[in-house]
A and B are shown apart, each in its own frame.
Chain A
Amino acid sequence: MEGGSTVTFFRRLTAQWGERYRKMSIQMVLSLSFTAVAAAGILLMGVSLIWRFSSASEQMVAENSQRMLAQANMNLDSYLRRMMRIADTVYYRVIKNTDLAEGSYTDALGLLYEENRDDLVSLAVFDSQGTAVSAVPLTTLKAEARPEENEWFQAAWNNMENLHFSSPHVQNIFDDPDSPYRWVVSLSHHVELTRDGVTEGGVLLVDMGFSGIEQVCRDVTPARGGYLYLIDGDGELIYHPRQQLIYAGLLEENNRVAASYRDGSHVEKFQGQSRQVTVKTVGYTGWKLVGVAPADSWWASSSQLFLFGLSLLCFATFLMAFLNFLISARISDPIRRLERSVKELESGLDVEIEEGGCYEVQRLGHAIRSMVSTMRHLMDDIIQQEGQKRRSELEVLQAQINPHFLYNTLDSVIWMTEAGQQAEAIQMVTSLARFFRISLSKGKNIIPLSDELEHARHYMNIQQIRFKNRFTTRIEAREGTEELYTLKLIVQPILENAIYHGMAGAEDDGAISVSAYREGDDLLIDVADNGIGMPPEVAESLLDPDRPQVRTGGSGTGVRNVHQRIRLTFGAGYGLTIFSEPDEGTLVRIRLPALTREEAARCQQGEVL
């Protein structure tokens, strides 16, 4: 359960951070990402450096310890050899050359002692029973002294060939009124005494002062926090800089374990502290010099080194963060300014798009600026086109209520009424009413094709009455066009043109036809007359927008207006085409998209098809 809730918690946390990251600004993403990556890199590098430094330091400490121990070993060896030379001198120069029946060792021992009194505590020769044969400077044994029971005596006696070095001990056999208890290291050696020409066994004792060994060890200065101590083969302390603290039980040393180490450097953990221990065996004696270097003296995580490393890390991260913030600001600020400009643009303000920042951002600004400029031009064009469209429509509407046309029509109605042609007058008035009603079409631009043809039919009715049937009219919608829609008031201006220009010279044989039919996705409306026609180049020029507007005797609105309105509404693919030959007539073909009801409605709402 607990594991599940932990997983849920982390998932939620991850989701929250993911959400926060997604909402974060580009500047923050850049800054934090670069800073995090830089910090991680620096951290890795720092750890790597510290680790390498630690290894190198450890190696260096080991080498220093080994050098130090080699030096101490050399000094100690030299000291011990001097003691051994003294023992040899006593044996080979004094004991071997002296018959106890004839003389004594005391004077010779006294001389040797005086020469080496800084290092020696006593020199003595004992016979096999432990009786002192000769001793300097202390000559008297304690009453209760039993030299033969001492470890140094027995070691020498049991191992006749070799010199024997004891562990440090209090020399307690001599009666010393000044300093009864002195710590010594005893060098003992089995010797052959000559008494009255007969040789007998004995033991030579050379008590070395503790200070001599101490001095040898103290002369070597270990690295900071380190120290050196000396143990015998069993690990018993011979010298330690804090020996008395250890003896008093206030301090512990790992000497017993160190006795088991082979020569070289070892890392051990003692009393919770890691330290490097270097061991060097002193030749002949089996003693071991032990150099101790606490881990703090080489380990990279020592507080000073750690803090220094941390300081460098923080400083590098600080610099990286500072640079990252600057760079990210340089990248993001121009983008932010662009965004602000675009927002202002959206709200309709006239703003200048700035082209600043880095190259890419400059290019982006330039592109947006170009886009805005293009957009403005397009908008201007649209406004202009819309204005043109409105003007054209207005012109068409004005054409419908052309006062001249209205006057003539009403005049014809009056004339027919006065002439008693009641039926014709009624038909004319009716057609005029229907004509105007379809012209208005509740303000719609797109109307059913049938209404547009109805509109043309009423117009032709009026004109036929006025022109006393000098021409015939045929208006038809072929199959497939019943449900189609068209732009309104596009046929009437062409019919007007056909009447006023095409039928100008007609007698009773004029014919005007309107035919609507479908061709693929297009709706075609042909308006043809058999009038006087015109040269093809004139017909072509009629649609030229640069051609000056010519007022005609008709309604005053030309085919060019119709052509422009169609193109403005449906595009350049649509409009009028005029086919004409002189004396043969004219055919004006209107091309429109075949609009269904739905498409007409969308078109009415301003959508582009």
Chain B
Amino acid sequence: MKKNNVVEIAILSVLGALVVLTLVIPQLLRERSESRLLALSVLLRDTDSTGLAVARQGMEQAADELGAELRFLTLTVRNDGREQAELLRREAEGGADALIALPADPQSLQEALDKLPRPLVTLEVPVQGGTGTVSPDNEAVGRLLARALLEDWDGGLILLLDSSGFCPEAALRLKGAFDALAQAEGEVPVLVLDYGYWDSLRGARWVMAFEPGATLQAAEWKQAEGETFALYGVGSSTAVTAQLEKGNIAAIAAWSDYAAGYLAVQQAVRAVGERPENLEPLPFSIVRGEDIYAPENQKLLFPVMSSSGR
């Protein structure tokens, strides 16, 4: 074959291949954009999802934008780590593309995950082998909350409610608070109390709680019992906010549950596509009762509830 003919055939082949390629690529792009909905299972540690109402809104917004379908699964017994691990196993076997969990027992989840590896994004508490955790810096939460207390503190024993038995993340917050109080100038008396022994709070002046449930219960107990201690807690639910407004809580550490839910789904979808990113700790604020209606705090504490039910 002559050299000219070879060159001509090569040029025609390249042009022909380009034509085919430019016709096929849009088709491939369309097929990719028309990919199926991802199945994401959300494992809660409560018997209902009311405590995660705002986070759920964020999750649903992200699912809507990123093409995912959410299944919310609650436990029959609150904080039952074994049941949660069983649910994880069942969902993984059932074809869930990724899982999102608010761990009741990180150890049980880790064991289940070892047997059936799946992308797992956790809220609040990390699980070994998971794809990431959406959470504020828990130690920093405890530390800053303690500093807020110290700004008001004029002496007296500070009680730290330890609810880490059913809320693993509380342990880190408590540690942060404890360290901050220990490092404070002068001698600050601190006592760690197991959660649930409400009578121990009688006559107390300073109390700290480290998860929303404990914070709310302490505030409600305080109101019911007519106690006057200054309560510093965690959470941004409506109930917690109402107690903050009423003065039953002096200050709270709050972050956007909506953002937490959104980021958890976003990370899960990225993990399915094998491109997860390192998650930064969620930003949080210390909100005092008198600042509750500051414009930025309104946006943080009172989510805009969409009527569309997105």
Contacts and interface: CB of A to CB of B under 8 A. Distances in A.
Interface of A: 25, 27-28, 31, 35, 168-170, 172, 180-181, 183, 210-211, 214-215, 218, 242-245, 247-250, 303-304, 307-308, 310-311, 314-315, 317-318, 321-322, 325
A303 B27 CA distance: 12
B238 to A, nearest CB: 6
B70 interface: no
Contact of A183 (B16, B263, B304): B304
A244 B57 contact: yes
A214 B308 contact: yes
Given A27-B4, A249-B259, A183 B25 contact: no
Contact of A25 (B4, B11, B241, B293): B4
A60 to B, nearest CB: 22
A304 B57 contact: no
A244 B303 contact: yes
Given A218-B308, A243-B304, A247-B299, A172 B293 contact: yes
Given A35-B11, A249-B283, A318-B19, A307 B57 contact: no
Contacts of A249: 256, 259, 283
Contacts, number: 97
Q: What interface size band does chain B fall in? A: 35 or more
23 contacts: A169-B298, A170-B293, A172-B245, A180-B238, A181-B238, A183-B302, A210-B304, A214-B306, A218-B308, A243-B304, A244-B258, A244-B306, A247-B304, A248-B259, A249-B283, A250-B262, A303-B26, A311-B19, A317-B15, A318-B15, A321-B12, A322-B12, A325-B12
B7 interface: yes
A318 B20 CA distance: 11
A180 B246 CA distance: 12
A168 B303 CA distance: 12
Nearest to A250: B259
A310 B23 CA distance: 9
Interface in B1-58: 4, 7-8, 11-12, 15-16, 18-19, 22-23, 25-26, 29, 57-58
Contacts of B18: 310, 314, 318
Contacts of A250: 259, 262-263
A311 B256 contact: no
B183 interface: no
B15 A170 contact: no
Contact of A28 (B4, B262, B263, B300): B4
B74 interface: no
B254 to A, nearest CB: 12
Given A181-B301, A214-B306, A318-B19, 8 more contacts: A180-B245, A244-B58, A247-B300, A249-B283, A307-B25, A310-B18, A311-B22, A314-B18
Contacts of B241: 181
B223 interface: no
B238 A314 contact: no
A27 B22 CA distance: 29
A305 B122 CA distance: 41
Contacts of B16: 318
